[in-house]
């Protein structure tokens, strides 16, 4: 109750002067009352350490009661569920809130509109500096309904897939929510992927409709999205393309297929009855990289995902009603789905949409935004922190950051230097850092210094604690559970969580092969971890052939597949190497066919261009070594460990190479590497 009073009081204080001047004091009062009502409805986000401990224990000992109660108190149900969970870690089955009926957009919009229609849902921090646009919950609901009605008119039905290839914008959020309104499955593709990558995702998801924009804007650079879509569609059969006019650029519009989104919306009603969806109906597909094969469409379902995103958002970021919360991720990644859109909106928060880049117009962009928008929680990627710290403290210190309460990081390990800069300089040693470990597949944050951070001193670069319901398990190579503290192993999860991926779209076998068959009874994350002497979790990095470039997950096999298509190339092997800013860079070892006369430099340039056009510029190898051969075992397996050591400038760590078919190749590779530097 005291918090309720404090919030009301702060709000009163902030608005009183303005209200008296404009004679709108009664509106201020009603806003306070509606905030108070919201607070009573959802409960506090800042919990005491004892309470957290009790909740965590209950979440493991009696998950049915724990999740059941939260699902009933935090979500609006069209029809109550009959069973909390029917999950089995042995078969990779996750079913939550069975036979319940729910609509995600209704939970993210209508219920907040009923309470406080003018509350700000989104603040769009546009690419152009010093411009932001506020969108209220009522406006967002109306736009969502209009898009939903357009989609219906274009023939989209419950269960159909809609591809969204758009810049970060309120209209993109409305498009995602519009899909959920009518029960369509969205497949958002990051608007930095190439035409080839986009067409593969459109085809795999079976999308018959694509929503895009004329152009994107990032750091004042125009990105021709519609052109890319046109190119992608040469290989797809799509009925309609809806084009949002972000810049107003002149783009090619194919008669009968392409329509301007806002023109189509203008004739539609601002109401659309939400479709009752089964808890377990698919909500969205999101493609992510694995260690083998093509990217996989990770599929999430309705109620469990929403509850998990909502609860993690609330407790990890200590989100309180009235806070301005900014996650600067792109909506094209899972972080954007869970912590720009679904988690915050389900909580009725004000969520900032960041369209720009951290260095535009200068490296003070984030902190200028924090001051101007009065941001309370800031959630970003270590790669940006590493980049910004190079520019010095002045770009941070000239802006007021006193509103900040919690800082978060995600997507890759944060090194200690970056952690300290974030904690000491950005947060002025006052803001706890939530170093959040999770994955596209988990739907939401799994390990993070949540709640007990107030009583346990923070540990740099350490996600520390499992979230409610999470049972982290460390296994040795043979799959034996490692008990006790001070142990390192393969990170697995031993319990089902409501937000876990349900399958890989169209490929249940691959889903089981990748996550559930390697260590029966557990979900295998692909990461390694250490449980330190005090029982806190540290992530040691991927243990498979996935690398993390600027916080973006990339399968080395994907890059190899592209380069293998070059006529001069015999064989390739791609590994990650430590990169000061990007976390990891892409390093390619390439062997050529006999009798190639083309210059090595030309081949390298062509390979880079191929990767750019097949995947996207973030995947382009910065280092390419034309190698005499690849180190292989006698059975023909490439010894990537050796390639990683050389790429990391640590040839002395190569160790035993006696199992190689031809060990002379190692010396040549080391010599070649030195020439590249």
**Which positions touch ligand WTA (CB under 6 A)?**
288, 333-335, 410-413, 435-440, 463, 525-527, 539, 542, 548, 553
What is the smallest separation between the CB atom of 551 and ligand WTA, expressed in angstroms?
7
Least Å from the CB of residue 123 to ligand WTA: 23
Cross-strand partners of 408: 379, 434
Please report the DSSP string for 395-406 in residue order. Answer: HHHTS--TT--E
Of all helices (H) and strands (E), which one includes residue 186?
strand 185-188
Least Å from the CB of residue 447 to ligand WTA: 8
Nearer to ligand WTA, 95 or 435 (CB): 435
Sequence-ordered strand ranges (E) for 2-139: 83-85, 96-98, 101-102, 120-125, 132-136
Calpha distance 105→95 (Å, rounded): 21
- Contact of 176 with 206, CB cutoff 8 Å: no
How many residues appear in the chain? Answer: 677
Q: What HEC string does 503-538 produce?
A: EECCCHHHHHHHHHCCCCCCEEEEEEEEECCCCCEE
Tell me how far, at minimum, the Cβ of 135 lies from ligand WTA, in Å.
Answer: 25
Whichever of 191 and 539 has its CB closer to ligand WTA, that residue is 539
Give DSSP secondary structure letters for 554-621. EEHHHHHHHHTTSTTEEEEEEEEEEETTTEEEEEEEEEEPTT--S-HHHHHHHHHHHHHHHT-GGG--
b or e along 92-128 (b: 16 or more beta carbons within 10 Å of the residue's beta carbon)?
bebbbbeebbbbbbbbbbbbbbebbeebbbbbbbbbe
Q: Least CB distance from residue 288 to ligand WTA, whole Å?
A: 5
Residue 44 or 332: the one with the smaller Cβ distance to ligand WTA is 332
- 187 secondary structure, DSSP code: E
Q: Could you tell me the two tokens for 631?
A: 């180190």
Q: How far is the CB of 413 from ligand WTA (least distance, A)?
A: 4
Please state the closest distance from residue 335 (CB atom) to ligand WTA, in A.
Answer: 5
| DSSP string computed for 439-492 | -GGGSS--B-S-GGGGTSPP-TT--BSBPTT--EEEE-TTSPBPPSSSEEEEEE
Query: Minimum Å distance from CB 304 to ligand WTA?
Result: 17
Which residue, 102 or 547, is less far from ligand WTA as judged by CB?
Answer: 547
Token pair 């869970």 in the structure block, residue: 338
Query: CA-CA distance, 584 to 482, in Å (whole number)?
Result: 29
> What DSSP line would sit under 25-64, residue for residue?
HHHHHHHHHHHHHHHHHH--S---HHHHHHHHHHHHH-HH
Cβ nearer to ligand WTA, comparing 164 with 447: 447
Please, which residue, 322 or 472, has the CB nearer to ligand WTA?
472
Minimum CB distance to ligand WTA, residue 539 (Å): 4
CB of 229 to ligand WTA, least distance (A): 24
Q: Which is nearer to ligand WTA, 111 or 530 (CB)?
A: 530
Contact criterion met (CB below 8 Å) for 549 and 623: no
Q: How far is the CB of 213 from ligand WTA (least distance, A)?
A: 23
If the CB atoms of residues 175 and 501 are measured against ligand WTA, the closer one turns out to be 501
Choose between 121 and 329: whose C-beta lies nearer to ligand WTA.
Answer: 329
- Given the complex with ligand WTA, which of 139 and 527 has the nearer CB atom? 527
CB of 148 to ligand WTA, least distance (A): 28
The dihedral of CA 304, 309, 315, 319: what is its sign?
A: negative
Two tokens at 508? Answer: 């249940």
The answer to whether residues 471 and 445 touch, using CB atoms and an 8 Å cutoff, is no
Q: Judged by CB, which is closer to ligand WTA: 81, or 379?
A: 379
Q: How far apart are CA 291 and CA 211, in angstroms?
A: 30
Residues 486, 487, 491, 493: what is their CA dihedral angle, to the nearest 10 degrees? -70
The pair of structure tokens assigned to 597 is 């006369």
Q: In the bound complex, which residue of the shown chain has the CB atom lying closest to ligand WTA? A: 440
Nearer to ligand WTA, 314 or 553 (CB): 553
CB of 528 to ligand WTA, least distance (A): 9
Q: Which is nearer to ligand WTA, 126 or 296 (CB)?
A: 296
284: nearest Cα among 336, 248, 324: 336
Helix (H, G, I), strand (E, B), or coil: what is residue 83? Answer: strand
């Amino acid at each position: 109750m005291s918090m309720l009073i404090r919030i009301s009081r702060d709000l009163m204080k902030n608005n009183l002067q303005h209200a008296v001047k404009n004679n709108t004091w009664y509106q201020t009062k009603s806003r306070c009352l509606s905030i108070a009502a919201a607070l009573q409805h959802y409960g506090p986000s800042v919990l005491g350490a004892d309470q957290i401990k009790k909740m965590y224990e209950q979440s493991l000992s009696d998950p049915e009661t724990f999740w059941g109660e939260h699902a009933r108190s935090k979500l609006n149900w069209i029809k109550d569920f009959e069973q909390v969970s029917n999950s089995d870690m042995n078969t990779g089955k996750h079913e939550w809130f069975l036979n319940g009926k729910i609509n995600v957009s209704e939970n993210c919009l209508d219920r907040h509109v009923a309470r406080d229609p003018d509350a700000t849902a989104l603040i769009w921090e546009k690419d152009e500096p010093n411009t932001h646009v506020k969108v209220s919950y009522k406006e967002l609901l109306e736009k969502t309904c209009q898009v939903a009605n357009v989609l219906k008119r274009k023939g989209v039905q419950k269960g159909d897939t809609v591809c969204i290839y758009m810049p970060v914008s309120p209209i993109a959020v409305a498009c995602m929510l519009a899909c959920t309104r009518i029960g369509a499955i969205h497949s958002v593709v990051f608007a930095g992927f190439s035409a080839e990558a986009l067409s593969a995702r459109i085809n795999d998801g079976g999308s018959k409709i694509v929503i895009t924009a004329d152009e994107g804007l990032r750091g004042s650079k125009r990105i021709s999205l519609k052109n890319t879509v046109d190119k992608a569609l040469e290989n797809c059969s799509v009925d309609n393309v809806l084009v949002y006019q972000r810049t107003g650029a002149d783009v090619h519009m194919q008669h009968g297929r392409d329509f301007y989104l806002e023109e189509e919306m203008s004739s539609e009603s601002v109401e659309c009855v939400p479709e009752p969806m089964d808890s377990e109906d698919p909500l969205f597909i999101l493609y992510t990289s694995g260690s083998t094969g093509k990217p996989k469409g990770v599929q999430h379902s309705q109620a469990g995902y929403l509850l998990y995103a909502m609860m993690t958002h609330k407790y990890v970021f200590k989100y309180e009603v009235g806070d301005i919360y900014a996650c600067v991720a792109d909506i094209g990644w899972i972080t954007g789905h869970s912590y720009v859109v679904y988690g915050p909106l389900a909580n009725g928060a004000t969520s900032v949409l960041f369209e720009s880049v951290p260095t535009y117009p200068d490296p003070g962009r984030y902190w200028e935004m924090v001051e101007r928008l009065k941001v309370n929680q800031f959630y970003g990627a270590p790669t940006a922190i590493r980049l910004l710290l190079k520019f010095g403290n002045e770009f941070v210190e000239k802006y007021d950051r006193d509103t900040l309460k919690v800082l978060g990081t995600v997507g890759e390990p944060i090194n200690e230097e970056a952690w300290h800069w974030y904690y000491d300089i950005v947060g002025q040693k006052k803001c706890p850092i939530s170093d959040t470990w999770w994955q596209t597949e988990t739907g939401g944050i799994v390990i993070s210094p949540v709640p007990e951070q107030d009583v346990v001193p923070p540990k740099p670069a350490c996600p520390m604690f499992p979230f409610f319901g999470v049972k982290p398990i460390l296994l040795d190579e043979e799959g034996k559970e490692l008990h006790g503290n001070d142990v390192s192993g393969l990170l697995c999860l031993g319990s089902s969580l409501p937000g876990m991926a349900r399958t890989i779209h169209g490929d249940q076998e691959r889903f089981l092969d990748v996550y559930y068959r390697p260590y029966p009874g557990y979900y295998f994350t692909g990461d390694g971890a250490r449980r330190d002497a005090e029982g806190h979790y540290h992530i040691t990095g991927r243990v498979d052939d996935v690398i993390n470039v600027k916080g973006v997950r990339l399968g080395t096999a994907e890059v190899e597949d592209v380069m293998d298509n070059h006529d001069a190339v015999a064989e390739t092997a791609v590994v990650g190497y430590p990169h000061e800013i990007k976390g990891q860079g892409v390093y390619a070892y390439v062997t050529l066919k006999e009798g190639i006369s083309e210059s090595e430099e030309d081949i390298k340039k062509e390979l880079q261009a191929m990767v750019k056009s097949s995947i996207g510029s973030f995947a382009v190898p910065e280092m390419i070594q034309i190698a005499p051969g690849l180190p292989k075992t006698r059975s023909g397996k490439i010894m990537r460990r050796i390639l990683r050591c050389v790429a990391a400038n640590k040839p002395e760590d190569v160790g035993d190479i006696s199992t190689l078919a031809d060990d002379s190749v190692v010396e040549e590779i080391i010599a070649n590497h030195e020439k590249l530097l």
